[in-house]
Amino acid sequence: MSRGNFRALNKDGDTFTFQTNSSSGTTFDPFVSILSLGRVSWDFGDGSGRRNTNSPFYTYSDGGTIKTVNMHTKRMSEMNWLNMGGDDIYGHLDLTQWSNLGGTFSVGGSAELTGVTHTYSPQIFTLYGIINSDITGHHDVSMFPNLGGSFQMYTNPNLTSITHTASTEVFTYYGVYSCNLTGNLDVSGFPNLGGLFLTRFNANLTGVTHTPSPQTFTKYDVNTCDLTGNLDVSGFSGLGGVFYTYVNPNLTSITHTASTQTFTDYRVQSCDLIGNHDVSGLDLGGIFYVYGNSNLTGVTHTPSTEVFTNYRVNTCDMTGNHDVSMLSGLGGIFYTSVNPNLTSITHTASTEVFTDYRIDNSDITGHHDVSMFPNLGGWFWTQWNTNLTGITHTASTEVFTDYRVWGCDLTGTHDVSMLSRLSNNFRCASCPNLTNVLFPTTTETFLDPGTNSTSKAFTMRDCDLGYVDFNPLSGITMDVNSTYGATIYLYGNTMTAGEVNHILVDFSGITTNNITRWSGVTLDISGDNSAPDSSSGGYDGIAAISYLTGVTPSWTIITS
C-alpha cells in the first residue's frame, strides 16, 4: 500500500469536541464503541499529545481547569456506545453527530453538565444515564424510538421536563427522581414500562400519563411530588412489590386494576384521597399506609393471606364499619386511630403477633371484639371512644407494655384476666359505668411512665369501681426505683368505706408476702371514695394503712 493510501485511510475525518474540568484528583476514562471496525484518538486539551484508544485512562495534572477535549475518528456516524460517567463533563454536550447512538449511554456524575443535544438514532438503548448532574430546563429524547432498558436521569435539580417518543422496548428501570419535573410527565408511549418506576421528589410534578403495560413492576414510586387529582395506573396488571405515592397533598384518588403480583409495601399517606379507596384487586401484605387523608371515608379490600406487619388508616374520616375480615395475616402494628366517624371494625382470626393495636379517638360503638387474636400484645389503645361499652379478649401470652382504655363507656366488668403478661402500665380510667376489672395472674413489672395523673402503673380513676381484686397481681414487681416510681391510682371511684378497707387489707397481705417487690408503692385512693375506717365491710383499713406506711413496706397512701 502506498503512503498516500495509508494516510487517506487513517485521516482524522470527524471530530467530537466537548469540555471537561477533570482534575488531578480524578481519572478521566471515557469509553466509546463503533458499529464497524475503526479507531479513535484523543487530544486531552492539555498539550499532552494524542492517544489512540477507545478507552483512555488518563489523569490530568491540574486542579480542575476547563479543558477542551477532541475525539477524532473517520466514522463518527457509526459511533455507538458512549460512557463518560464521572468524567466531569462541563457545559453543554453536543451529540448531534452521533446518529447511531445506542446500547450504553452514560455521562452522569458531572456537576456542571447542563445539557445534552441528540440527533435521531434507530439503535436500541439498554442504558441511558445522565445522573447527578445539572441538566437544566427541558431534555429531549424524542429522537430515540428504541429507548428501553434502564433510563436514569435522577438528581438533576434543574431538570424541568422530558420529551419522549413511542418505544416498544421493555423498560426495567425508569428513574427521574430528585429533579424539578414540572407539570405532567408523559410516558404514554411506553407499552412495556415495568420494573422500577421512580419519579419521587419532584415538588412540581402534577401528573404522570401512562399507557397499559403487561410488565411486572417491583417498585412504583412517585412520592413527595404534587400529583393532582386522579393517578391512573389501571393499565398495570403486573403492579406489585412497593407502591409509593405518599405526600402528594393534592392527590385525590388512584385507579387500580386487578394485579397478579403481591404488594409488600403500599403507601398513600398524607395525600387528599376523597371518599372510598378501592384496592380490592390487589394482593396486599406487609406495610399498608393510607393515613393522614382527612377526606378518606373508606377502604375496600379483597381477601389476602399475606402477613401484614404495619396497617395504618389513622387520621382520616373513616365512616361506619371498616371491614378487614378478609385479611387473615393481620398483625404487627394496626392503627385506625383518630377517625371520628369510625363506629366499628370487623376482624377475622389471625395468629400473627400484634405489637401495637390502636383504635383510639374514634367513635367505636358498642362491643369491640379482638378475641380472634391470640397473640395480641405490646401497646393496646382504645381510649376516647365515648360509645365503646366493652372489649372481648382471648388468652394471650404476649407481653403488653401499654394498655389504655380511658374516656370510654365501658360498662360492668372489664375482663383482662386472660392476658397473662400484662405489664408496665394499665390505664382504665374515665369510664363512668365501669364497675370492676378482672386482672390476670402474672409476674411482670409495672411502673409509672410519666408524672401526670394518667401516667401511673395502674390508672383506674373516675369510674364507678367497687371492690377490685388485686391479689392475682401479687407476683408482680412494682418498680419504685424507676424514673417516676410506681403508683396505683384509684382516685374518684365512689367506693364505699368497706370497699376501700377491703382493697387496703388485700394490699397489706400482698406486701407482707412479697416485700421486696411491693415496698415503696404510692397509692392514691382519694377523691370521692369514702375514707377508710377500722370496721366497715368487716375489714380494718386503718390497721392496713398503719402497716403499709411503716418503715419496711414504706408505702405512701393518699386517702383524702
User: HEC string of 472-527?
Assistant: HHCCCEECCCCCCCCEEECCCCCCCHHHHHHHHHHHHHHHHHCHHHHCCCEEECCC
The strand pairing partners of 229, in sequence order, are 251
Report the distance separating Cα 456 and Cα 452, nearest Å: 8
| Cell numbers given for 84 | 463518560
Residue type, 149: G
Residues 6+ apart with CB under 8 A from 308: 284, 285, 286, 287, 288, 327, 329, 330, 331, 332, 334, 352
What Å distances lie between residue 151 and 78, 139, 213, 298, 538, CA to CA?
Answer: 22, 13, 17, 37, 84
d(CA 217, CA 214): 9
Extended strands (E) in 347-425: 354-358, 366-369, 376-381, 388-392, 400-404, 412-415
Burial of 293 (0-12, 13-18, 19+ CB in 10 A): buried
Predicted pLDDT at 13: 82
Which of 425, 432, 370 has its CA nearest to residue 403?
Answer: 425
Rounded Cα distance between 108 and 94, Å, is 15
**Closest to 299 measured CA to CA, from 345, 352, 262, 234:** 345
Q: Which residues contact 184 (CB under 8 A, 6 or more apart)?
A: 205, 206, 207, 208, 209
Place of cell 385479611: 327
For residue 557, what is its C-alpha cell? 397512701
CA 483 to chain CA centroid, Å, is: 32
DSSP string, 335-352: E--S-TTEEEEE-----S
* Residues 504, 549: Cα–Cα separation, whole Å: 11
Mean pLDDT by 10 residues, the chain (560 residues): 39 86 94 88 95 94 95 92 96 97 96 98 98 98 98 98 98 98 98 98 98 98 98 98 98 97 98 98 98 98 97 98 98 98 98 98 98 98 98 98 97 98 97 98 97 94 98 98 98 98 98 97 98 98 98 96
From residue 274, give the alpha-carbon distance in Å to each of 254, 292, 318, 448. Answer: 10, 11, 11, 41
- Nearest by Cα to 491 from 444, 459, 455, 451: 459
540: Cβ contacts below 8 Å, ≥ 6 apart: 501, 505, 534
Provide the b/e sequence for 128-139 (b: ≥16 CB within 10 Å). Answer: bbbbbbbbbeeb
What DSSP letter does each residue of 106-138 carry, written as one string? E--S-TTEEEEE-----PPEEEEE--SS---EE
Task: Indicate the helix (H) or strand (E) that contains 540.
Answer: none
Whether the CB-CB separation of 221 and 242 falls below 8 Å is answered with: yes
Angle in degrees, CA 183, 187, 190, rounded to 5: 180
* Prediction pTM value: 0.94
Angle separating helix axes 541-548 and 497-513, nearest 10 degrees:
40
* Spatial CB neighbours of 340, under 8 Å, sequence gap ≥ 6: 317, 361, 362, 363
Q: Helix, strand, or coil here: 536?
A: helix
The 8 Å CB, 24+ separation contacts for 244-253 are 244/200, 244/219, 244/220, 245/220, 245/271, 246/270, 246/271, 246/289, 247/223, 247/271, 248/222, 248/223, 248/224, 250/206, 250/226, 251/227, 252/228, 252/295, 253/229, 253/277
Residue type, 370: V
pLDDT at 5: 37
Residue among 185, 229, 228 nearest 210 (CA) = 185
Cα angle, residue 538 at apex, residues 532 and 540 outer, rounded to 5° = 40
Residue 344 C-alpha cell reads as: 366499628
Going by C-beta distance under 8 Å and a sequence separation of 6 or more, which residues neighbour residue 45? 20, 67, 68, 69, 70
Q: Tell me the C-alpha distance between 43 and 61, whole Å.
A: 15
Residue 423 CA to residue 419 CA, distance in Å, equals: 9
The residue with cell 433510563 is 151
**Burial status of residue 351 (CB atoms within 10 A of its CB: 0-12, 13-18, 19 or more):** exposed
Q: Which three cell numbers stand for residue 314?
A: 389513622
Give the pLDDT score at 12.
57
**Residues paired with 310 in a beta bridge:** 287, 333
Beta bridge partners of 5: none
